[in-house]
Amino acid sequence: MTFDGASNTLGHGVGAVLVSPEGNHYPLTARLNFFCTNNIAEYEACIMGLRAAIERNVKTLEVYGDSALVIYQIRGDWEVRDSKLIKYSDLVAELIKEFKEITFHYFPREENQLADALTTLASMFKASKEAEIMPLKMSIYEVPAHCCSIEKEADGRPWFHDILEYIKNQSYPEQANENDKRTIRRMAAGFVLDGDILYKRGNDQVLLRCVDDVEARKILEDVHEGI
């Protein structure tokens, strides 16, 4: 779990992210409509994340935060002297009892990007009590939107034809302008040609074979028949 809290002139916000062993991310964020300091916001963020983990029946948890004061106070390395933080520290101590194993680690703010972004969003965004805000879903797009808007080229060629021609022959479509050519060159960097077969390189460096609609449907049919 990572957490972060912020208190500024725009408002007070907290964010936390639960990350499963498989790498799935579950973001949490909230706006605090009461006065608080940065340290209070950090404790609020940590408690929000701990409660979410308890609700999901998590028993082993590694907690990371970029507030040295909060992390070291929770670990018992530093004494809690601010009277405003004593009750927060006591609450965290109670929540910790719900876990079989839990550890707390300090790490730099630049490594806490997602929780920090959620915190900033919550502190800046003013929503009415009646507003229902659905959870955010973040996708990663590898190619421009217009490349996915057409399932099949008008001339019957596969969607990757222009990229394949550029990689094989360093050629562009006749009607391509300079912007089109730059786009093709940029996209081609993510593909690998092996003989006559074109592969798309994934973020994990796994090569995925590029197929046209007809071949894709045939593969799906074979899979269904196998099932």
The 10s digit of each residue's pLDDT in 116-147 is: 666 556 555 566 555 565 556 555 555 555 55
C-alpha distances in angstroms, 221 versus 151, 174, 214?
Answer: 18, 36, 11
Residue 115 pLDDT level (bands cut at 50, 70, 90): low
CA 204 from centroid of its chain's CA atoms? 16
Q: Over the stretch 74-88, which tens digit does the pLDDT of each residue have?
A: 999 999 999 999 999
Q: DSSP assignment, residue 134? A: P
- Percent of the chain exceeding pLDDT 70 equals 70
Which H helix or E strand runs over 85?
helix 83-96
Domain boundaries, the chain: 2-124, 145-226
CA angle (79 as vertex; 74, 83 as ends), nearest 5: 95
For 154: left if phi > 0, alpha if psi spans -120 to 50, otherwise beta; the answer is alpha
The alpha carbon dihedral of 90, 96, 97, 103 has a sign of: negative
Q: What is the mean pLDDT of the chain?
A: 78
Q: Lowest mean pLDDT: which of 29-33, 55-59, 60-64, 79-83? A: 29-33
> What is the pTM assigned to this prediction?
0.57
53 contacts 103 by C-beta, under 8 angstroms: no
If you search the block for the tokens 């520290």, which residue do you land on? 89
The CATH classification number of 2-124 equals 3.30.420.10
